[in-house]
Structure 1
């Protein structure tokens, strides 16, 4: 029972670790891209004016992505809000934690969206866009360790426009907004629309996109789904093989420990007193040599 319990516990830990590792890899990839764009954005702001939006030049391996940056005083941000590309932040929005100045970075992932983001059972209808905020209180905007902030809209909600997404009849209820939180969480909500564009709303920062169930998408790619399934199968097989290897290792260690205990017992038995053996019926049993007490003759002194 103890061995079965140990195997079950190890299997549970291995499976949990596999799921955690997959999610952690996804989050690490997103964070690494955000960090590169943040550093480029800080470099752009050196010597630039506040309350102005500037384009951020990106590395060649980020081809297809675009980014913008804006630096603001918190008081101005609270009173007037801000517009950064397709992101509209209304007045009465606070940076959390509170800082004297903040930097807003807007990103559109373009054709790299599907490479980094995958929502199972859904198809992306728009590029992923990001609205991130950082502490700019320090005079050095090139400071790489700037704290990342959250935003909290106390009045109207923050809106992210997706002008190229047209809500067609029959699909309005299926089209959803997705916000990927900074901790890797995913929040799904209905999409809103106006006469000029469709948009998603939020009360905080994050990464946003528009999705629709795969069966309604005219642009769903069977090749991408097959690739995802192949990766999933490989991960499952790898986990199973790793689990089996772990079981074999545990069983081997238990057998080795058992053999060592048996060897120790045999050695102790061999080092002990050697007993003769006799046959009693059909059984061979150990016996010790009998030592009789020598008789002592009584003499007259003892008798008296």
Structure 2
């Protein structure tokens, strides 16, 4: 096998390994952007409010088909109504004596249930998701694109009820309410009941449970598991790529050698064959059986 073929095989092996690492890392970092999702919810909620002008009526928001499985609804309220009566929706219950900060006369409240998409947008290392992520945000009705409003709760806590939990855990103390704030912070609280979490502000919320054998650092088992998983994948892809490339290199080398032999045979057939004779009885050498050009004198003068 020639040196050029070896260089080619080494180059392709390195390229294959790099590609497998990029694919693996891409898979491990394949989390979706929750901020972009919230902006999408605001956009479609704004369109829904433009077609439904009735205050106090909860309206279902139509979403694109590529994110089917999520549920989003929006309601328009007066600030005075939120303060005096609060609001009670399917998942979120806001008590009276709640104001927005800054205060607005009319507000829009957007609710969302991410359903089976929850784990793609929200996760906590060391914890397993056992409920869908449910969120609610408050906006100025005049412009939902400006940003969400904070809430000042003085009459009691906001309760979030989850329709079901995907766990058979009977020890309620192991269940944790996780709150994801818009600033990127994560809040941990104990559940008040098996399927109820409380909060004092807006955001996205879910119920999680720690892994069965929590380590000293909650992020280590998941990180080690992922590293081991991607190392196995990378090694497997590299081994397969190496086998394919070596096989291709051997085939190319054989083809090149056969072609070279054919060229030599072709050249031999077109040339004049030479006789051979033995030297010292053990060495065979070619010899010319005739002289192609007959000698001729340049002139007739002979001394």
Cα contact 2:131–2:166 (8 A) shared by 1: no
Tell me by how many angstroms 1:153 deviates.
1.2
Tell me by how many angstroms 1:214 deviates.
1.8
SS at match of 1:211: strand
Structure 2 equivalent of residue 51 of structure 1: 56
Structure 2 equivalent of residue 287 of structure 1: none
Cα contact 2:129–2:207 (8 A) shared by 1: yes
Structure 1 equivalent of residue 201 of structure 2: 204
SS at match of 1:107: strand
1:183 and 2:188 correspond: no
Q: 1:164 to 1:212 in 2, by over 3 A?
A: same
Structure 1 equivalent of residue 44 of structure 2: 40
In 1: Cα distance, 2:32 partner to 2:183 partner: 10
Tell me by how many angstroms 1:209 deviates.
0.2
Unaligned runs of 5+ in 2: 1-28, 215-220, 232-303
Structure 2 equivalent of residue 6 of structure 1: none
Cα contact 1:129–1:208 (8 A) shared by 2: yes
Q: Could you list the per-position Cα deviations for residues 105-130 of structure 1 after superposition, in whole angstroms to 9, with x for gaps in the alignment?
A: 00001101111111111100101010
Structure 1 equivalent of residue 35 of structure 2: 31
SS at match of 2:45: helix
In 2: Cα distance, 1:79 partner to 1:26 partner: 44
1:172 and 2:176 correspond: no
SS at match of 2:88: strand
Tell me by how many angstroms 1:229 deviates.
1.9
In 1: Cα distance, 2:119 partner to 2:33 partner: 13
What is the CA RMSD across the aligned residues, in angstroms?
3.0
Unaligned runs of 5+ in 1: 1-24, 218-223, 235-304
In our comparison, the structure showing a higher alpha carbon Rg is: 2
Structure 2 equivalent of residue 155 of structure 1: 155
Structure 2 equivalent of residue 92 of structure 1: 97
Cα contact 1:69–1:84 (8 A) shared by 2: no
Structure 1 equivalent of residue 125 of structure 2: 120
Tell me by how many angstroms 1:230 deviates.
3.9
In 1: Cα distance, 2:228 partner to 2:38 partner: 25
Q: 1:127 to 1:179 in 2, by over 3 A?
A: same
Farther off after superposition, 224-233 or 45-54: 224-233
In 2: Cα distance, 1:228 partner to 1:59 partner: 35
Tell me by how many angstroms 1:61 deviates.
1.8
Tell me by how many angstroms 1:166 deviates.
8.0
Q: Could you list the per-position Cα deviations for residues 243-267 of structure 1 after superposition, in whole angstroms to 9, with x for gaps in the alignment?
A: xxxxxxxxxxxxxxxxxxxxxxxxx
Q: Could you list the per-position Cα deviations for residues 45-91 of structure 1 after superposition, in whole angstroms to 9, with x for gaps in the alignment?
A: 11420111011111112121101111101001100111232111110
Structure 2 equivalent of residue 214 of structure 1: 211
SS at match of 1:184: coil
Farther off after superposition, 45-54 or 198-207: 45-54
1:102 and 2:107 correspond: yes
| Paired positions, count | 196
Cα contact 1:85–1:106 (8 A) shared by 2: no
Tell me by how many angstroms 1:205 deviates.
0.3
1:276-295 residue pairs with structure 2 within 5 A?
none
List 4+ stretches of structure 1 deviating above 6 A.
Answer: 25-28, 231-234
1:81 and 2:86 correspond: yes
